[in-house]
Homo-oligomer: A and B are copies of this chain.
Amino acid sequence: MISELAASVGGRVIGDGNEPIHGIARLETAGAGEIAYVEEERFFGAASASQASCVIAPEGAELQANCIIAVKQPKLAFALIAKLLHPTPVRPPSIDPSAKISESTDIDLTVFVGPNVCIGESARIGAGARIEAGVVVGQSVTVGKDCVLHPNVVLYDGVVLGERVVLHAGVCIGADGFGYVRDDMGYHKFPQIGTVVIEDDVEIGAHTCVDRAALGRTRIGRGTKLDNLVHVGHNCDIGERVVIAAQTGISGSVIIEDDCVIGGQVGFGDHIRVQSGAVIGSKAGVLPGKIVRPGVWWGIPIQPLDEFKRLNAHVNRLPQMRDELKELRRKIAALEKKSEDS
């Protein structure tokens, strides 16, 4: 019922709050029984035209809709309501007979363990965890309460996951860091005997790799979100509520403090510190050892965004600058000639 959904997000109903709602949809495709949202004024027209049974809209927005839930942050309210209407499917507790679970595993009775899952010695699996087909959990791994491990995830020995961690298909946590020492014979492996700690409420996209520390630990802080195909090197310390988009690569011993936002395909050299709140644009490159202050950065190597834009504009004007230079040369030649003549 609309009124119940409104109550769950602290919203005010404008219209008939008794209508039933069964699902979410976009303004354009929504129909009877569906709820949509609008946040920006330029879409108010679309919202008024929507067939949705209910539209979540900013307080004070003037629009015609079958019913409105007025809130401060419509997109946020929509996300929260979506969670109510489309809850993550719950798997009944069960352990597939094909799963290979070491006798020394400490496994809660409420977990779901799918086919062909392997769980190593002395691992601990918390209540409500969901471990899908083909996942491999190493020795002495800890998987916290209500974690979701999608198919074919690999956790190397000793990795620690907090609670409600979601790892998408193929995520690999705890492979050896990339460290070697060279001599005349070639490369000798530098020891990679540390571990990885993933804190509560982290979500990690498909095929992302987080390497174990050489010594000590690699950390992904609470509430941080990593997209697909990201690489996190050994001994990195990623703070809380950090967002990192797809295909970004982070070398060893990089510190990214809380609340940073990192675009896609960004590259970090080693031993960088990104200070809390910094924003780094997609495809940027950060030199080893750099301290990145709060603010918005872009480029290779990174510069403050404004500076980057200014220099880029200058580069774009280079042909014109060249012409001006030619013109000046001509004028000077003329002046020189005149001066000699006189």
Contact = CB atoms under 8 A, between A and B. Distances in A.
Interface stretch (A13-21, A43-51, A104-112, A241-249): A241-249
Contact of A96 (B100, B178, B325): B100
A178 B227 CA distance: 6
A211 interface: yes
A172 B175 contact: no
Interface stretch (A61-69, A123-131, A202-210): A202-210
Interface in A149-206: 150-152, 154, 156, 168-170, 172, 175-176, 178, 180-183, 186-191, 193, 201, 203, 205-206
A34 B245 CA distance: 39
13 contacts: A26-B216, A75-B190, A76-B183, A86-B193, A98-B100, A118-B133, A172-B228, A176-B205, A187-B225, A229-B249, A246-B251, A321-B322, A335-B335
A136 interface: yes
A116 B100 CA distance: 9
Contact of A79 (B98, B190, B201, B331): B190
Given A100-B133, A186-B201, A228-B178, A151 B154 contact: yes
Contacts of A342: 342
B319 A329 contact: no
A175 B171 CA distance: 11
Contact of A318 (B170, B247, B311): B311
B175 A150 contact: yes
A321 B317 CA distance: 12
Contact of A216 (B29, B80, B328): B29
Pairs of residues from A and B, 5 with the lowest C-beta to C-beta distance, nearest first:
A82-B191, A314-B318, A136-B151, A154-B169, A186-B223
Contacts of A169: 136, 154, 156, 172, 175
A243 B180 CA distance: 9
B215 A205 contact: no
Contact of A152 (B136, B188, B201): B136
Interface in A278-327: 282-283, 285, 300, 310-311, 314-319, 321-322, 324-325
Contacts of A150: 154, 156, 175
Given A133-B118, A318-B314, A80 B175 contact: no
B181 A175 contact: no
A141 interface: no
B205 A175 contact: yes
A315 B325 contact: no
Nearest to A77: B181
B311 A206 contact: no
Contacts of A329: 324, 328
A265 interface: yes
A58 interface: no
A170 B206 CA distance: 10
A205 B331 CA distance: 60
Contact of A118 (B115, B209, B267, B319): B115
A114 B102 CA distance: 13
A22 to B, nearest CB: 13
A299 to B, nearest CB: 9
Question: Which of A25, A169, A193, A322 has most chain B Cβ within 10 Å?
Answer: A169
